[in-house]
Amino acid sequence: MTFDYDLFVIGGGSGGVRAARIASAEGGAKVGLAEEYRMGGTCVIRGCVPKKLMVFASEFSGAMEDARAYGWDVRVDGFDWSVFRAKLDAELNRLEAAYRNTLKNAGVTAHDARATLVDPHTVRLSTGETLSARYILVATGGRPFVPEFPGCELAMTSNDVFLMDEMPKSVVIVGGGYIACEFACILNGLGVEVTQFYRGAQILRGFDDEARGHIAEAMRENGVDLHVGTDVERIEKTDAGLRVVCTSGRAHVVDAVLYATGRLPNSAGLGLEEAGVALKRGGAIAVDAWSQTSVPSIYAVGDVTDRINLTPVAIREGQAFSETVFKANPTRADHDLVPSAVFTQPEYGSCGMTEEAARDQGPIEVYATAFRPMHSAFAGRGDKVLMKLIVCADTRKVLGCHIVADHAGEMIQLAGIAMKMGATKEDFDRTVAVHPTMSEELVTMRAPVRKA
C-alpha cells in the first residue's frame, strides 16, 4: 500500500516536533505534522517558557528589597504589565518561528489545521484534506480542567494568564498543585493580592510531606493568603468584581479567579476510540513501554499518555519513538529518577522518592537540615532553606533528594546526575563542599535526623 507519509504527527508541541524532526532528518522518513493552534505546544506557548519569564519578573520585587538591605539606593515605580506583555508576546513569536524553522529545515511538512483519526492509517484535517500514513503519532498534550459549578465560566485557567490585557489587583486561585502554587507566588510577587483555596489538607499532593509544609509556610510568610480544606461553591459577577463563595461560608470579592485544579489528556474528539485506540480512565491514551497504542500503527507520547507530564520527558519519548521506528535503534524512554522543579518562591527541586514512599519499601535513613541562607539572612529575611536526602539503610543508595531554596531547580539537575549513577550517601560524603553555598549542605550532613 502506498501512503502519503511514512509518519504523520498530530500535535506541534515539544514531543511531537522532536519525533518529527528525528524521523525526517535522521531517519529518512517522509513526515507530515498538524498543529491546530500555535507551533511549540503548551510548554513554549502557554506553559513552561512564559511562566518562567513571569517567575523572573515576579522575583524582582523581593530583589529590590534585598538590594536596599545591601546598601543600594533603589527606587521602583511598580510593575507595568503592558511592557512585560509586549516583550513576552515578541519572545513567544520568536520561539514559534524557531519551531517552524526546525521542522522546515528537517524536511517536515507542517499543516496549520486540526487533525483527527479516520482509521489506523488515515487522518482528516479541518481543511477537508484526507492524508494517509504508515505510522501516526499522537502528541496532543493536555488541557486545563475546570469542574462544573455555578459561575465556572467566569474563571480563567493558566492558558489565559499570559493573555490578560491588564494585571488584576486581586485574585482567587483555586487548586493546590504545582501550577496553582507557582501562579500564587508569581502574582503575589507582581503585587497582586492573592488568596488561594485548596480542598485538600496540604498543597502539592504527591510531593514530599516535609517539603510541602515548608513551602506552604514560606508562601504564607511571603503574603499569599493560603487556605486548605476549602473549596469554591460558586462565583457570582457583581458590580464590585467576582464574588467567590466558599464551602467555609466566607465570600471574597476579587478582580479575577484562576482555576488550576489539574489537567486532562487532550484526547477528546480525535477519533481515537473510533480508530480502535484504547484509552485509560481520564482519557489518557494507553501505551506500552515503546509508546505504542493498542493499534500497532498508532503511537502516542507526552502528556496525552499521562505518564510523567514534563516537557523533557515528552521530548525523550518522541526521540525514543523515532529511534525505534525509523532508525532501527530500539529505544525505550527512561522514566526512572526524573528530576523536576516547582517554581514556587522559594523553588522546590526533587528527584527520586519522597520520604513517605521510601519508608513503605524498606528501612531508610533521613538526612535533613533547615537553615537561613547567607543571602537572605544578611538582608534580614527570615526564610529558610530545606535540604533533604532519603537513603536506603541497606544499600546506602540515595533514594530521594529534596531541595527547597532559591535556584533549587538548578541544584536538583546536578543531584539527579549523581543519583542516576547510583550514588550512595558515602559518595555524597566524600565530595568536598563548595563554600560558601547553600548546596554544600548536601555533602555535609553526617547524622540522620530519623530512621524508618
User: What residue spans define the domains of the chain?
Assistant: 5-143+264-326, 152-261, 340-451
Please tell me the predicted confidence (pLDDT) of residue 163.
Answer: 94
Please tell me the predicted confidence (pLDDT) of residue 346.
Answer: 95
- Rounded CA separation 325/314 (Å): 16
Strands (E), 121-275: 122-125, 130-138, 142-144, 170-174, 193-198, 225-228, 232-238, 241-246, 251-254, 256-259, 263-265
| 304 closest CA partner among 322, 320, 295, 317 | 317
Checking if the pLDDT of 77 tops 90, the result is no
Q: What is the mean pLDDT of residues 18-37?
A: 97
What 3-state DSSP class applies to 328?
Answer: coil
Checking if the pLDDT of 68 tops 90, the result is yes
Please tell me the predicted confidence (pLDDT) of residue 22.
Answer: 98
Q: What is the mean pLDDT of residues 63-71?
A: 94
pLDDT band at 294 (very low <50, low <70, confident <90, very high): very high
Q: What is the pLDDT of residues 189-246, one digit of tens each?
A: 999 999 999 999 999 999 999 999 999 999 999 999 999 999 999 999 999 999 999 9
pTM summary value = 0.95
Q: What is the pLDDT of residues 396-405, one digit of tens each?
A: 999 999 999 9
CATH superfamily of 5-143+264-326: FAD/NAD(P)-binding domain (3.50.50.60)
Yes or no: domain 152-261 corresponds to CATH 3.30.70.260:
no
Residue-wise over 219-257: b if at least 16 C-beta within 10 A, else e? beebebbbbeebbbeebeeeeebbbbbbeeeeebebbbb
Tell me whether domains 5-143+264-326 and 152-261 share a fold. yes
Q: What is the mean pLDDT of the chain?
A: 96
List residues with catalytic annotation.
435
> What's the CATH class of domain 340-451?
alpha beta
Q: Burial level of 25, CB count in 10 A (0-12/13-18/19+)?
A: middle
